[in-house]
Amino acid sequence: MSSAMSLTAIGLVIAATIGIGLFGLRISRTTSDFYVASRAVSPRWNASAISGEYLSAASFLGVAGLVLVNGADMLWFSVGYTVGYLMLLVLIAAPLRRSGAYTLPDFAETRFESAVVRRICSVLVVGIGTLYLLPQLQGAGLTLQTVTGAPPWVGALTVGVIVVINVAAGGMRSITFVQAFQYWLKLTALATPIFVILILWNSAGHPGGVLDSLHGAGSEWAEPLSRANGREHPLYATYSLLLALCFGTMGLPHVLVRFYTNPDGRAARRTTVVVLALLGSFYVFPPLYAVLGREFAPELVQGAADSVVLELPSRVFPGTAGDLLGALVAAGAFAAFLSTSSGLTVAIAGVIDQDLLRARLRRLTGGDYVAVNSFRIAALIAIAVPFMAWRVIGSLSLADTVGLAFAVAASTFCPMLVLGIWWRRMSTVGAAAGLIVGGALTITAVLVNVIARPPEGWRGWGGALIAQPAAWTMPLAFGTVIVASLLTPHKIPAGTSRSMVRLHTPEAVDVDRSFTP
């Protein structure tokens, strides 16, 4: 892979990202611009931006790496990532937009009328966002290391600096344009090499096509739910993963905050339908890189599997053609890290700003407080802390780490949102108990996986339950909410009826939806 070409391509992506972000600065002036783009983003723009934000390092590099190593059962990652938006569309998209909130803690406070529930949500938003940022930084470091041989921290730091510049410059208004551009760049960067490989390989005298060369690669590799590579209890692991991905999407703070930018609930539903089509188009390609990687880069199975997308073009076509295609893929990978990191930073910064910095700045300045400047300080904190944490933890499996973030979201915010929107008997105690139980169990599993890192020899049900916790933590969280709510009917918020009307009444009906952050 040509370092010069790839660096040039990455440089162009960075320049375009900053340029588009600065354009957003020209039209970002109010607090609403920074948090929710003044709720004026059309469904098509928003769908492209959501897809650009959602397709992270795990999608661009990690899925191909997992399929390369573990086989076809890892295709459930692609299925789960996409189906998660179907769940979001059916259960919460429109009501969430009608809530009038800016962030998840805002929604929790207005629905449950509790500062305690809000603070718990704030902690979880920061925790989930930080966990999700770790693989983005890891992917950026891996990409720059593969391209140039530079230390991984250089790529991670580069992404962090650019994200802070963009988010601090224009907030949500700015990154909406950036993320929409980056989705189409990522799709082009991933699809073009595959089409070129298939077309040129056929025209070069291989009449059977490139896929014929994969015969004999190992039937066990393509067998879903297999015990390949020493995995135990694969059926449980698969369904637990699907549960996390399908229901964790609706609890990801950087995903939910984008639905607040729609003009109304109908636009939120239309946005989600378009997102499903865009995600489905994208996820066709990562498994193809894995399949081709088994033939052209088999040594990556035992090493840097996450780099197969970056390595494949130059392996198939050594020379200028491979270098050009590799540069395009590297540019798309960097766009993936930038777009997802930007969305996460906005979500985390919004919570840090509202729940931590504002009160402190008011005390320090005697009331002379500027919301936009506070948001910019929060954005710097939101990216600096994950960067330092990543430096301490070291290398991570991209898709596995993101899967754990989904498990935390599925076991905390999913019960709160689904029951909070559709069950009027949910009490404040139930909401708090569900968040605490689900959060404590899944965060413990995360710490064991990411920090303690169980040895490869840890097998059996204990290892399976910790590696994929959603199948037991999510039902426990739902059960805790229901039982605690039934035991504390006197703690049902006084304004529950009014909240339910606001959440489920179409915008055409005159209902007070005002919210003051």
pLDDT of residue 244: 92
- pLDDT computed for residue 441 by the predictor: 95
SS3 letters for 357-416? Answer: HHHHHHHHHCCCCCHHHHHHHHHHHHHHHHHHHHHHHCCCCHHHHHHHHHHHHHHHHHHH
- The torsion defined by the Cα of 416, 406, 41 and 380, in degrees rounded to 10, comes to 100
Q: Do 305 and 65 contact (CB within 8 A), yes or no? A: yes
For the chain (517 residues), the mean pLDDT of every run of 10, in chain order, is 79 82 59 53 77 81 82 79 83 79 82 92 90 86 81 87 76 72 89 85 54 47 47 79 89 74 71 85 88 81 80 84 87 84 82 73 52 75 89 73 88 94 94 96 87 60 85 96 95 90 74 48
Give the global pTM.
0.81
Whole-number Å distance between alpha carbons of 465 and 388: 29
pLDDT at 302: 76
Helical residues (DSSP H) of 452-516, grouped into ranges: 460-467, 470-487, 496-504
What phi, psi does 458 have (nearest 5°)?
-75, 105
CA-nearest of 57, 68, 105, 103 to 290 is 68
- What local confidence, expressed as pLDDT, does residue 473 receive? 96
Domains identified in the chain and CATH numbers: 3-504 (1.20.1730.10)
